[in-house]
C-alpha cells in the first residue's frame, strides 16, 4: 500500500510565485479555533500585532510584546495546516539594530514554527531586512501607513496624495524589495500609487486600504466578520455581521439562565438507572 505524502504548508517561495498568477488571499488570525476556520480559504494567515487592539483592547499596537506575538503565533500554528503563517515583529523588537531584529525574529521562528516574520519600515529598515533574508528568515515588509508609527505620524490617514509622500513610499517599497522581502503589505495608500508600486516590485504586494491591483489582499478577520465594529475604515467590508448575533446569543443565554430553563435535563448528568 502506497503512503501518501503529508501535505506541505505554503511557503514564502510559493507565496511569491503567485505574483502574476492569481490574487493572494490573506487574513489575520490570533487563535487556534479561528485559524482552523480560515486556513482552508487563505494562502497566508497573518498573526498581526493588531491583536493588541482586537483581543486586548489596547488603543494601538505599540503596547504589544514579543511574548504576546509568540503565544498567538503558537496558537495559530496549532489551528492551521496549509497556510503560510507570518508573525509580526512588535514595536521595539527590531528597530534598534539588525542584530536585535535577527535575534527576535529567530526566536519567533523557533518558538512558533511560523514560515516568516513581518516588520514595518522603509529605507531605514532595508539593512535589517537584508540581514534577516540572508540568514534564512523570510520577511514580509510593510510600507505606506505604518500603525507602529502612528504616534509619530499624527494618526491614521491615507497617504501618497502629495508628491513628497508618494516619492517616500516609492523609495521605501523599492528599498525593501531590493533587500529581499518576498512580500510586502501596502497599507492606507492611494490606489494609483499602490497600483504603480505593485507593478514595479519583485515582491508580492498585499493591499489593505490600497489597490485591487495589488497581488493580494489582507483584512483584520474581526473586521471582515463584523465583530470589531467600534470603527469601520473605508477599506473594510463586512462579509458577515456577527456582532449583533453574538450579542443576541448572549442575551438569550442570560434569559434562560435567569428563568432556570438552561440547563435542561439533556444538558446535565444524571444517575444511571439500575437494571432490574
Query: Per-residue b/e over 43-75, b at no fewer than 16 CB within 10 Å?
Result: bbbbbbbbbbbbeeeeebbbebebebbbebbbb
Q: Which of 187, 191, 196, 256 is catalytic?
A: 187
Cβ-in-10-Å burial (0-12, 13-18, 19+) of 212 comes to exposed
CB 238 within 8 A of CB 223: yes
- Annotated binding-site residue? 111: no
The separation between the first and the last C-alpha atoms of the chain, rounded to the nearest angstrom, is: 50
Residue 140's nearest CA partner among 125, 151, 129, 131 is 129
Q: Is 187 assigned a catalytic role?
A: yes
CB 208 within 8 A of CB 219: yes
- Find out whether the peptide bond into 263 is cis, omega within 30 degrees of 0: yes
- Annotated binding-site residue? 123: no
- Three cell numbers, residue 36: 482552523
> For the chain, how many helices (H) and strands (E)?
11, 8
**CA angle, residues 113, 116, 148, in degrees to nearest 5:** 115
- Annotated binding-site residue? 118: yes
Specify binding-site residues.
49-50, 88, 118, 120
Please give the positions annotated as active site: 187
Specify binding-site residues for 3-methyl-2-oxobutanoate.
49-50, 88, 118
Specify binding-site residues for Mg(2+).
49, 88, 120
Amino acid at each position: 500500500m502506497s503512503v501518501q505524502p503529508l501535505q506541505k504548508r505554503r511557503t514564502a517561495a510559493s507565496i511569491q510565485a503567485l505574483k502574476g498568477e492569481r490574487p493572494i488571499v490573506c487574513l489575520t488570525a490570533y487563535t487556534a479555533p479561528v485559524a482552523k476556520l480560515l486556513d482552508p480559504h487563505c494562502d497566508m494567515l497573518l498573526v498581526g500585532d493588531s491583536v493588541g487592539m482586537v483581543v486586548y483592547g489596547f488603543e494601538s499596537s505599540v503596547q504589544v510584546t514579543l511574548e504576546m506575538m509568540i503565544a498567538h503565533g503558537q496558537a495559530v500554528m496549532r489551528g492551521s495546516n496549509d497556510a503560510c503563517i507570518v508573525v509580526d515583529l512588535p514595536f521595539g523588537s527590531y528597530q534598534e539594530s539588525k542584530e536585535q531584529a535577527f535575534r527576535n525574529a529567530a526566536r519567533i521562528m523557533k518558538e512558533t514554527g511560523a514560515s516568516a516574520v513581518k516588520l514595518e519600515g522603509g529605507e531605514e529598515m532595508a539593512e535589517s531586512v537584508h540581514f534577516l533574508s540572508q540568514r534564512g528568515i523570510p520577511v514580509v515588509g510593510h510600507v505606506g501607513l505604518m500603525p507602529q508609527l502612528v504616534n509619530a505620524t499624527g494618526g491614521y490617514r491615507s497617504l501618497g496624495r502629495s508628491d513628497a509622500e508618494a516619492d517616500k513610499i516609492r523609495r521605501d517599497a523599492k528599498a525593501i524589495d531590493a533587500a529581499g522581502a518576498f512580500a510586502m503589505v501596502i497599507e492606507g495608500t492611494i490606489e494609483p500609487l499602490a497600483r504603480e508600486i505593485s507593478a514595479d516590485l519583485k515582491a508580492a504586494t498585499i493591499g489593505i486600504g490600497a489597490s485591487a491591483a495589488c497581488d493580494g489582499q489582507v483584512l483584520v478577520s474581526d473586521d471582515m466578520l463584523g465583530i470589531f465594529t467600534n470603527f469601520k475604515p473605508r477599506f473594510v467590508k463586512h462579509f458577515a455581521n456577527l456582532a449583533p448575533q453574538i450579542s443576541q446569543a448572549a442575551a438569550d443565554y442570560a434569559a434562560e439562565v435567569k428563568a432556570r430553563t438552561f440547563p435542561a435535563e439533556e444538558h446535565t448528568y444524571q444517575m444511571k438507572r439500575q437494571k432490574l
